[in-house]
Amino acid sequence: MHTDEPPTGTLQGRPVPPATWDAMARLGYVPYDITAGEMHFVVGATTGCYGRVAVDAGCGLGHFSRRLRRLGYHVTGIDYSVCSLEVAGAEASGPQLRYLCADLDDGVPPGLPLHSVHLVVARTVVPFLSKPVEWLRQVRDWWLAPGGQVYLVVPIGQPPLQAGQMTPAEIDALCSGWQVKRRDQDGVAWIILRPNIP
Ligand SMILES: C[S@@+](CC[C@H](N)C(=O)[O-])C[C@H]1O[C@@H](n2cnc3c(N)ncnc32)[C@H](O)[C@@H]1O
């Protein structure tokens, strides 16, 4: 264990069943639009794109997956909402933009080669996972290639929290044990994480 990471069970997520996401996908629901400012932040804070491997975890309708593909990444979008994946796949898919149905709470997704991913994205997803801190630890220990990074988007809130929000203290706990580059914009935290050198 890295010495400065939070103990197991520090943060409880607030899962929502896939059927709820299916219903939202049928309505074309997109929680947070991708702005030029966000893309500027991501591109400026990450290293390289072309031919690199990205995973869009909780990809929803695939908007950010397609952005990553346009940047040159080889992209896998993962979600457990079948309806979302159908919409995403109908927009665009191919050998370098594929979609996988898997529950992120079930460990390393089947078929994902270990230590292979240069950029793991989770846009407005981590607060919905059962154990956000443990999930990030798994990403660090099993998903990321050497030098790999994580990009999170986390809506910031105060109790009583709305679905998908985290308090500032929860976000700090989430990022503890990582090298962090963060910008808060319109109530949302854009966060780039790099593993600390143990
Ligand atoms: C708020 S939406 C965000 C979608 C997309 N990342 C975006 O930025 O538009 C959250 C997505 O995470 C997915 N999700 C939530 N929990 C999940 C889990 N345990 N496993 C896989 N996908 C999950 C939902 O199905 C939904 O598509």
- In the block, which residue shows the tokens 């794109």? 49
Supply the pLDDT for residue 3.
53
Supply the pLDDT for residue 50.
83
Alpha-helical (H) ranges within the chain are 18-26, 36-45, 63-71, 82-91, 132-138, 168-175
Q: Which atom of ligand 1 is nearest to 103's Cα?
A: 20
Q: Which atom of ligand 1 is nearest to 104's Cα?
A: 20
Which amino acid residue places its CA nearest to atom 14 of ligand 1?
Answer: 58
CATH number of 18-195: 3.40.50.150
Supply the pLDDT for residue 154.
98
- Tell me the two tokens of residue 172: 């700090």
Of 128, 134, 153, the residue with max ligand 1 atoms within 8 A of its CB, to mutate for a pocket test, comes to: 128
Supply the pLDDT for residue 113.
93
- Tell me the two tokens of residue 26: 């049928």
Per-residue pLDDT in tens (0 to 9) along the chain, 198 residues: 455 667 666 788 898 999 999 999 999 999 899 999 999 999 999 988 888 999 999 999 999 999 999 999 999 999 999 999 999 999 999 999 999 999 999 999 999 999 999 999 999 999 999 999 999 999 999 999 999 999 999 999 999 999 999 999 999 999 999 999 999 999 999 999 999 977
How far, in Å, from the CA of 18 to the mean position of ligand 1?
Answer: 9
Give yes or no for a cis peptide into 110 (omega within 30° of 0). Answer: no
Supply the pLDDT for residue 93.
93
Decide: 35 and 64 in contact? Cβ < 8 Å.
no
The structure's pTM equals 0.96
> CA distances (Å), 10 to each of 57, 133, 172, 198, in order?
22, 7, 11, 20
Q: What is the DSSP string of 108-119?
A: SPTT--TT-EEE
Domain locations in the chain as residue ranges: 18-195
Decide: 79 and 58 in contact? Cβ < 8 Å.
yes
| DSSP label at residue 162 | P
